[in-house]
Chain A
Amino acid sequence: MMIRILLLVVATTAVAHAQEPDAAAIVRDAVNHWRGVSSISVMTMVIHRPGWERSMTMRAWTKGDEKSLLVVIEPKKDRGNRMLTDNNNMWSFSPKINRVIKVPSSMMGQSWMGSDFSNNDVARADEIVDVYDHTIISVDESDGVTVYEIESIPHEDAPVVWGREVLRIRADHVVLLHSFYDQDGELIKQLQSLEIGEMGGRMVALRQRMGKVATLDEWTELQLLSVEYSVDLHDSLFTLSNLRNPRD
């Protein structure tokens, strides 16, 4: 009996040692997990400010690393606003003016549809994998799941303004917390997962909140209403002509 326990301990440490988790791989898996090969989702975005609050419901299609299409379905006055991202570029289409507008590079750092997300947060979320050095700084446990705390430091020439970012990623690839620090080590903004659950056959963050640390009463929440993974989406969905003349 004693021997069996001993063996078990040795075996688990051996396994743990053999699978010394690679920080970059954890981040990559988390990004892939959240997006999947392809997905169709419906979500509600709540933008909260001290004086007002507004919400917006959107349907989003994603495929691979680079392509996504987003259509606003609520509220009524914004219905039909569409946004296409492809390879770090972003275009928007508003039926009211019947024009496709490319979001210029100068505006990529600015707010996305008035929220606390920047256009870059939306268009280039996957960049975090390649242009950073990732290291695991601690491993702990929360709700019975292992959580890796990973520090990501951007490369010298990376187009990232942050000094470092810290991600808390669960072993099942759900990102719990994404913190952005400036180059003096000051925490500037955080993306928090407030609710985690199963949807579309995966564990995902159902409700996420992005907010600046300096202004706690200003935040944006994304609530996932439904999601479907690994759906067959044709490339023609993610084209400018489809942005202009939706065939759905």
Chain B
Amino acid sequence: MHMVGILTTLAWRNLWRNHRRTLIMLAAVILGTWAMIFMTALMRGMVTQMIQDGISALPGHIQVHHPEYRDDPSVANLISISDTELAAKFEAADIAHWATRVRVPAVITSEYESRGITLLGVDPDRERGLTFVDYDEVEGRFLESTEDTGIVIGKKLAKMLNTRVGKRVVVMSQDPDNEIADRGFRVVGLFTANVSAFEEAFIFAGKSTTQKLLRIDDQVSELIVFGDDYRNVEALYDKVSAIVDSRVEVRRWFEVDAYLGAMLTIMDGFVFVWIIVIFLALSFGLVNTLVMAVFERVREIGLMLALGMKPVYILGQIIIESMMLLVIGLVLGTALSWAAIQPIKDGIDISIVGEGLDMWGMSSVLYPDLLLRDVILANVVVLVLGFFASLAPAWRAAHYEPVAALTKV
């Protein structure tokens, strides 16, 4: 124990013997740590945003469909779920955020243009906060009830169709017998979405109006349920499965949109690879610094060995030296990245490149997402790999022949 104290003192003093070299190495470690943590937070933020936008675009955390809906998301595969019955059961299960929707492919036509879109028949009261549409930001108004005969379309779509609030458009789809189902709707509102692709892809109509149009009585395409955290939906999944009957298919969001689900897994792997890559760059500097430190002190090490210090203490001293350097670097680097994230916590506007980002369904404001897990990962990786990297120079120092080392010029 006494020995460890001496070694630590020796290591610490050795570290500051050539303080310029140590400071340079320290700067490298700090920058490396910062790059690992800060960049990871940005990438995490991107993915979180993508997933949240994705979830609000479609599914909610849990989705309930007709078993065949996945293969054929058309009006032919509907489920009969009564909102009133559900309301009681969900209340009992303590689930607050859910909605049923009619969701069918349709065509919207103005005097000048027609476009393929997805028609969502929604209950505007239930849907509040569950979709990507902010009701208060809608130009005009959002739907007022399920019987509303108006329609709310995206701003971009309105531009394409050359229509506006107050004009009529025709929406055309199919009923379950493959007969054309169409009617005119008056545009009552134009919504904006974070992801501008949604503005072209979705239109909202009252649920009852849509059901009447499609001649499907009170059937719906899907039931969506929201929990608190998209990363943890198992408990919610079990609750919902218990409530709905067995003829429907209950799925978690990452099963509905495998791309989004895969993003999360890929991201975890990517963060790890990113940290390793940065560490590799860092380790060359680290090993070089230690090799130099050892090389400078060959005669000194030789003397210590000659005086009877065990080689294992020499090894320990070099490793403690390297660990000290890394720990200081990691602490400062982590603090620096935390400080760097503070001013941009509320999002960075990246709309300059926003048009390209839209293509992958990303929004143009980036919120960094600092996860404790990533911070720990970065620190542990640097310490563990740093330990192994410093083994080589330490090993070399410990195995000098005392006489040869002493007489080395």
A interface, CB within 8 angstroms of B: 87-89, 102, 105-106, 108-110, 154-163, 182-183, 188
Please judge, given known A-B contacts A89-B180, A159-B182, whether A106 and B116 are in contact too, CB under 8 Å.
yes
* CA of A88 to CA of B116, assembled, Å: 20
The reply to whether A159 and B184 form a contact with Cβ atoms under 8 Å apart is yes
* CA of A105 to CA of B117, assembled, Å: 13
29 A-B pairs with CB atoms under 8 Å apart are A88-B179, A88-B180, A105-B107, A105-B173, A105-B181, A106-B107, A106-B114, A106-B172, A108-B172, A108-B180, A109-B109, A109-B114, A109-B172, A110-B114, A154-B168, A155-B184, A157-B149, A157-B185, A158-B183, A159-B170, A159-B183, A161-B110, A161-B111, A161-B168, A161-B169, A161-B170, A161-B184, A163-B168, A188-B112
Which residues of chain B have C-beta atoms less than 8 A from A163's C-beta?
A: 111, 168
Please judge, given known A-B contacts A109-B109, A183-B168, whether A154 and B184 are in contact too, CB under 8 Å.
yes
* CA of A160 to CA of B109, assembled, Å: 9
The reply to whether A160 and B170 form a contact with Cβ atoms under 8 Å apart is yes
The reply to whether A105 and B182 form a contact with Cβ atoms under 8 Å apart is yes
| B100-135 interface (Cβ within 8 A of A) | 107, 109-112, 114, 116
* CA of A101 to CA of B116, assembled, Å: 19
B interface, CB within 8 angstroms of A: 107, 109-112, 114, 116, 149, 163, 167-170, 172-174, 178-186
The reply to whether A156 and B186 form a contact with Cβ atoms under 8 Å apart is yes
* CA of A10 to CA of B225, assembled, Å: 75
For B172, give its contact among A105, A154, A156 (CB under 8 Å): A105
15 new A-B contacts, CB < 8 A, other than A88-B179, A89-B179, are: A88-B180, A89-B180, A105-B180, A106-B172, A109-B107, A109-B114, A155-B184, A157-B184, A159-B183, A159-B184, A160-B184, A161-B110, A161-B111, A161-B170, A182-B111
Which residues of chain A have C-beta atoms less than 8 A from B181's C-beta?
A: 105
For A156, give its contact among B107, B114, B116, B184 (CB under 8 Å): B184
Number of A-B contacts (CB under 8 A): 62
The reply to whether B180 and A188 form a contact with Cβ atoms under 8 Å apart is no
> Chain B interface mostly helix, strand, loop or mixed?
strand
> Chain A interface mostly helix, strand, loop or mixed?
loop
Please judge, given known A-B contacts A109-B172, A157-B149, A161-B169, whether A183 and B180 are in contact too, CB under 8 Å.
no
The reply to whether A162 and B114 form a contact with Cβ atoms under 8 Å apart is no
Chain A nearest Cβ from B238, distance in angstroms? 40
* CA of A157 to CA of B179, assembled, Å: 18
The reply to whether B167 and A183 form a contact with Cβ atoms under 8 Å apart is yes
Which residues of chain A have C-beta atoms less than 8 A from B180's C-beta?
A: 88-89, 105, 108
Which residues of chain B have C-beta atoms less than 8 A from A105's C-beta?
A: 107, 172-174, 180-182
* CA of A161 to CA of B184, assembled, Å: 7
**Chain A residue at smallest Cβ distance from B168:** A183
* CA of A88 to CA of B180, assembled, Å: 8
Which residues of chain B have C-beta atoms less than 8 A from A159's C-beta?
A: 170, 172, 182-184
Which residues of chain B have C-beta atoms less than 8 A from A106's C-beta?
A: 107, 114, 116, 172
Most interface-central of B111, B172, B181, B186 (chain A CB within 10 A): B111
* CA of A183 to CA of B174, assembled, Å: 26
* CA of A127 to CA of B295, assembled, Å: 95
Q: Which 5 A-B pairs have the closest CB atoms?
A: A159-B182, A182-B111, A106-B107, A105-B180, A157-B183
Which residues of chain A have C-beta atoms less than 8 A from B170's C-beta?
A: 159-161
